[in-house]
Amino acid sequence: MQHDFSDAAAFSKAFDDPARDAWQRPAEVIQLMRIEPGSVVADLGAGTGYFVSWLSRAVGERGKVLALDVEPEMIKFLGQRAQQQRLGNVVPRLVPYDDPRLEPGSVSRILIVNTWHHIDERASYAAKLAPALGPGGEVWIVDFTLDSDVGPPARFRLAPEQVVAELQGGGLHAEVVSAEQLPKQYIVRAVRR
C-alpha cells in the first residue's frame, strides 16, 4: 500500500492528535516492550514521531532511538520535533521502502506501528529485520484490527495471523501478544529463531 505522506505538518494533525492516546495507548505498548535503559531501539515508519518521545524516555540518556521513515519530509519533521523537545537521543534516518538499513545486531527492539500493511514483500522485509536484532532483541508490530473504525481502508488491513506468518516467513518466531489490550489494534511480537 503506497501512500503520499509528504505533507508532514498536515499528517501531524491526525497522527499527533491527543485523542489518539485513548486507543493507541502508547504507555501500555512501551511497558509491554520491556525496553532496557541504555538500549538502541528503532521506530520503523516513525512518521511524525508519535512514539518517539515515549521511546526516548524508555531508553534514557545513554540509549538511542533510530526514527526511520521512507518520506524525506517526515524525517525533516522528526528532526525538528526532536530538537524542539530536546530529545538528543533521537536519530531520524531516511530509509528505502525495501530495506530498514539496520546494522547486524544493532538494536534491541524494533517498533512498527500502523506501518506493516504499507510494506511490500513483507516476509522478505522481515528477513532484513531479523539480523538487526541483538541478543534478546524483539520486533513489535502494532496494527489495525480488521473491524477497527479507524485506520486504512479494509482491503489494506492484515489479520494478526497473517502478520505472524509473514514474520515467520522471514526467519522470525512470532506470536500475537494482545488481541484485547488495544481497542482498535492488535500487537504481534517476534524474536529471532
CATH number at residue 75: 3.40.50.150
Q: How many domains does the chain have?
A: 1
6, pLDDT greater than 80: no
CA distances from 192 to 93, 131, 148, 165 (A): 24, 8, 30, 14
Which of the pair, 78 or 24, is modelled with greater confidence? 78
- The stretch 63-92 carries a mean pLDDT of 95
**Where are the extended beta strands (E) located within the chain?**
40-44, 64-69, 90-94, 107-113, 133-144, 172-178, 185-192
143 assigned to some structural domain: yes
149 assigned to some structural domain: yes
88 assigned to some structural domain: yes
Q: Cell 521511546 identifies what position?
A: 55
11, pLDDT greater than 60: no
DSSP 8-state secondary structure symbol assigned to residue 90: E
Single pTM value for the model: 0.90
Cα 103 to Cα 45: distance, rounded to the nearest angstrom: 17
- The stretch 38-67 carries a mean pLDDT of 96
2 assigned to some structural domain: no
Residue 92 has what pLDDT?
98
**What is the tens place of the pLDDT at every residue in 34-49?**
999 999 999 999 998 9
| CA 154 distance to own-chain centroid | 20
Residue 153 has what pLDDT?
85
Residue 97 has what pLDDT?
93
| CA 32 distance to own-chain centroid | 14
- The stretch 12-40 carries a mean pLDDT of 81
Give the residue from 89, 139, 92 showing the smallest Cα distance to 112.
139
DSSP 42-55: EEET-TTTTTHHHH
Domain hosting 93: range is 8-192
Cα 82 to Cα 119: distance, rounded to the nearest angstrom: 25
1 assigned to some structural domain: no
Grid cell digits, residue 91: 536519530
Grid cell digits, residue 160: 494478526
178, pLDDT greater than 80: no
82 assigned to some structural domain: yes
